[in-house]
Amino acid sequence: MDWWQALVLGVVEGVTEYLPVSSTGHLILAQRLMRIPSGPAADAYAICIQAGAILAVLGLYWPRVSQMLLGVLGRDRQGLTLAVNIVVAFLPAAVFGVLFDDVIEGYLFGLWPITAAWLVGGLAILAVSHRRQDRFPQAKAGKDLDSLTWRMALVIGLAQCLAMWPGTSRSLVTILAGILTGLSVAGAVEFSFLLGVVTLTAATGFKAMHGGLAMVQAYGWSPILFGFIAAALSAAVAVKWLVGYLNRHSLSIFGLYRLTLAAVMILVLTGGLMP
């Protein structure tokens, strides 16, 4: 892997990780377009550079993270409640991921399954937007994050399991689940990002243990470092933009983007144009 390919993949990861468009799907597509051979090393790289995006959210949401840490130490009751809710939401994906990781990678990491997920996700966004008449993006509509219950957190966690299908988008399903359980869009986005820190850290650690050696042997440390830095910087920009955008607009634009991308991919794949 060349340094510029690592930078491209890092930017793709950072920009798409927290947008409801699927980072894994975009990374697999980018790897194919740049003719990076698929395999354990490429799969591990696509997951491990998520660490950069994790670092970006830790920095942007450090007040909430520190509140949870104080809660665990018994010094902040709301922080403890939020930490417990994060754990509750994380557990379904943790169990599901361990049980079905090999099956998911064996059957769902192709471009056709990813395209199908882009299509279904796009339709879901537009359906929810229409049902709520585009009113749910108002930051003050719905409950704030401090009102989240463990039952609401569990629903969000179960929804997160759907995102193990590449192309679905972890951010998409957790934000939509948060909104549909009664959170404001600001609360749903914040919880999605905080849950992502735990989920992505676990996924990164799991993949590093099982494919990290193959990744380092195939690419060396420099591309990994380039991808990490690019992911961190681009994720920080993307997260700040998304939060501001959703305070004024609906998710509809992402639904239209996903449908357009799925349509293009169907034409490319059926025409045999993909390298």
pLDDT average per 10 residues of sequence, the chain (275 residues): 90 90 87 86 87 89 91 90 94 83 71 89 82 50 82 93 85 88 86 90 84 88 92 92 82 90 91 72
> What integer pLDDT is reported at residue 89 of this predicted model?
94
Number of domains in the chain: 1
Residue 251 belongs to some domain of the structure: yes
pLDDT at 131: 61
Burial zone of 271 (CB within 10 Å; 0-12 exposed, 13-18 middle, 19+ buried):
exposed
**Whole-number pLDDT of residue 262:** 92
DSSP letter string over 217-237? HHH-HHHHHHHHHHHHHHHHH
Position 58 in a domain: yes
Question: Does residue 39 belong to any structural domain of this protein?
Answer: yes
220 in any annotated domain: yes
In this prediction the pTM is 0.82
pLDDT computed for residue 139 by the predictor: 45
Q: Flag whether 275 is in a domain.
A: no
> Is 201 within the bounds of a domain?
yes
* Other beta carbons within 10 Å of 217: 9
Confirm whether 243 is domain-assigned. yes
In the prediction, which pLDDT does 137 show? 45
Query: Which H or E run contains 98?
Result: helix 77-107
Distance (Å, whole) CA 175 – CA 231: 21
What range does the domain containing 164 cover? 3-270
188 inside domain = yes
